[in-house]
Amino acid sequence: MIAIIPARGGSKGLPGKNIKLLDGKPMIAYTIEAAKKSKNIDRVIVSTDSKEIAEIAIKFGAEVPFLRPEHLATDTALAVDNYIYTIDKINKDNNTQEESVVILQPTSPLRSTKDIDGAIDLFKKKNADSVISFCKENHPIKWHKNIKEDGSIVSIFEDTIANRQEEVPTYYPNGAVFVFNFSFLKFKKYYSEKSYAFIMNRLNSVDIDVIDDFEYAEFLIKKRKKK
């Protein structure tokens, strides 16, 4: 199976985050290294529009066989379109027919090789269309509200008063691991009746969008080193 690590050069929330030094190492390197240790992954390919990211990715052992076209690197471009383009081009250039793919976003640097292999093993066991990593939500989703510009509160769900322990647990996709059957992915869908969740722990599920996320991830990495 091939792994695709999507790493666009532009980032509004945290500029340059994919190669920003996280505890002394480019953030993308953590995902490359975890993928290369996987028992299920044959090739680790970084999809980027940035020559600088490409050079760093290659330095840490990934392949960058081509740069991403500009139209797939804009703020409005859909990630799934880039995944399909990348796999199609790899198949065409190598005269291969990849039937499945794992997507590993570099913004989840604490995701482990064990997490990656666990999701892929589940994908194979279930003969799934997709397996997507999830994390348990600590607070009931029914507590969520919309807030208007004037500060007034708008209910999303029917208002109820209940203890947290009485609510059914909910889970959210943490963005760390996506495993797809390529034939299914071509429909530009992530979920079907044959989609399954791979549950990850909260500490491995940090998804970096802004500087606060980055600093928290760095804190956890340093804490792990001390242990």
- The CATH number of whichever domain residue 200 belongs to comes to 3.90.550.10
Structural domain count, the chain: 1
Q: List the domain range (segments joined by +) for residue 40.
A: 2-135+172-226
* Tens digit of each residue's pLDDT (9 = 90 or more) over 158-211: 777 666 666 778 999 999 999 999 999 999 999 999 999 999 999 999 999 999
* Tens digit of each residue's pLDDT (9 = 90 or more) over 84-130: 999 999 999 999 898 999 999 999 999 999 999 999 999 999 999 99
Residue 140 lies in a domain: no
Three-state secondary structure of the chain: CEEEEECCCCCCCCCCHHHCEECCEEHHHHHHHHHHCCCCCCEEEEECCCHHHHHHHHHCCCECCCCCCHHHCCCCCCHHHHHHHHHHHHHHHHCCCCCEEEECCCCCCCCCHHHHHHHHHHHHHHCCCEEEEEEECCCCHHHCEEECCCCCEEECCCCCCCCHHHCCCCEEEEEEEEEEEHHHHCCCCCCCCCEEEEEECHHHHCCCCCHHHHHHHHHHHHHHHHC
Residue 58 lies in a domain: yes
pTM: 0.90
* Tens digit of each residue's pLDDT (9 = 90 or more) over 27-56: 999 999 999 999 999 999 999 999 999 999
Residue 163 lies in a domain: no
Residue 176 lies in a domain: yes
